[in-house]
Homo-oligomer: A and B are copies of this chain.
Amino acid sequence: MILPKNSRLTPEQLAEVTAIVTEFGCKIQPIVGAVRSIYAIVGDERDELMINRLEGLDYVERIDRIQSPFKLMDRRSDLANHRLKIGHVTLGEDLLIIAGQCTIDPKNPNYYLETSLAVKEAGANALRGGVWKPRTNPYSFQGDARSLEILMDASRRTGLPVVTEVMELEHINLALDAGVHVLQIGARNALNYSLLRQVGRAIAGRTTAVMLKRSIHSGPLAEFISAAEYIAAFGNPNVILCPRGTQPQLEGYRNQPDESITPLLKEKTWAPVVVDPSHSVGKAAYVPAAALAAVAYGADGLCIEAHVNPPHGIGDDPKQAVTPSALAELVKRCRALHATLRPPAAARA
């Protein structure tokens, strides 16, 4: 849909526009209005290059696109019936609870094992645990590959699948070799297309899943879902979308909570949505309410930082981690609410 700056295109302008879209196999259909005319592009208008060419014309106000830039992740694609299973939980049916420490402390492996057993007891279905950590400060602790063994040991002892963040190809390879079940792409790498391709290629042909965090800036929905498309394009569609708060923050929280994006995502994509309230609000005391709100908005799961002894955690844990007993209470409330929401509150008549 081409909207001209003036009330209508001159014959010369119309000819130029027509020539461009013809190059891309499309046609122009003018719609003559009382005050202003517009020009519909008839054909497949998904090519960014054609759109850029048209937007570059001086006499064009803007181009409205009406087709999806992602095809595999689209709610209307054949994959819409794909069901992703993490451990014993089928996403879309039961509420998935991923919980555990932000960062595994390689010097205190017992904490991670204790926390893992405790969060299982509290109702978690999967374990989170950071082996490598992106840190703003270059001189802060950046993680340690030895933590990978601690992570997998906890997985074996609890029988739960594990989630860990990868930031480069070497991490991906080490994590897959160790048997990590879900690779996490963090918010700072949410648009790192090289990494998205690497992870998509690496999980192709496996049962491994990827949990893709939302970018820190509150980007367009299509940008978020297209990032998932990068991964799925290699053949394994096990991608989970994970809102985790955006910037600028809501004063008092670490970020601007964004669990409310869930119904909007679900209108456009079939991908399951697991919300991370811990990074969103950034403080343990606020996590239970934010977790419950995510369920209210229709989230398929939650990813929550927990620690047996929060003040002795590293990474974000001292601030963000809830105790196992707070987690147990939170999980109980969230599962109860989730159960009442079938069919979901946001369903459209």
Contact = CB atoms under 8 A, between A and B. Distances in A.
A281 B336 CA distance: 25
A137 interface: yes
Given A31-B42, A33-B43, A316-B52, A311 B260 contact: no
A176 interface: no
A331 to B, nearest CB: 12
A340 B335 CA distance: 13
A311 B348 contact: no
Interface stretch (A79-87, A152-160, A188-196, A205-213): A188-196
A345 B285 CA distance: 9
A193 B53 CA distance: 34
A337 interface: yes
A145 to B, nearest CB: 13
A222 B136 contact: yes
A116 interface: no
Nearest to A32: B42
Interface in A39-95: 40-44, 46-49, 52-58, 64, 66-67, 69-70
Interface string A9-51: 0000000000010000000010111111010111110111100
Contact of A44 (B34, B46, B58, B141): B34
B52 A42 contact: no
Given A217-B215, A221-B251, A263-B289, A138 B226 contact: yes
A43 B34 contact: yes
Contacts of A29: 31
B296 A289 contact: yes
Interface string A267-308: 100000000000001011110111011011110000000000
Contacts of A348: 58, 285
Contacts of A194: 167-168
Contact of A345 (B58, B140, B292): B292
Contact of A289 (B311, B336, B346): B346
Contact of A292 (B191, B296, B320): B296
A12 B49 CA distance: 37
A48 B344 CA distance: 32
Contact of A298 (B136, B284, B289, B316): B289
A125 to B, nearest CB: 21
Contact of A189 (B136, B192, B221, B233): B192
Shortest Cβ-Cβ A-B pairs, 10 listed: A56-B318, A217-B217, A188-B191, A292-B296, A168-B194, A293-B293, A252-B264, A257-B260, A289-B346, A31-B40
10 contacts: A34-B42, A35-B67, A36-B66, A40-B40, A52-B316, A134-B193, A136-B222, A189-B192, A289-B296, A333-B345
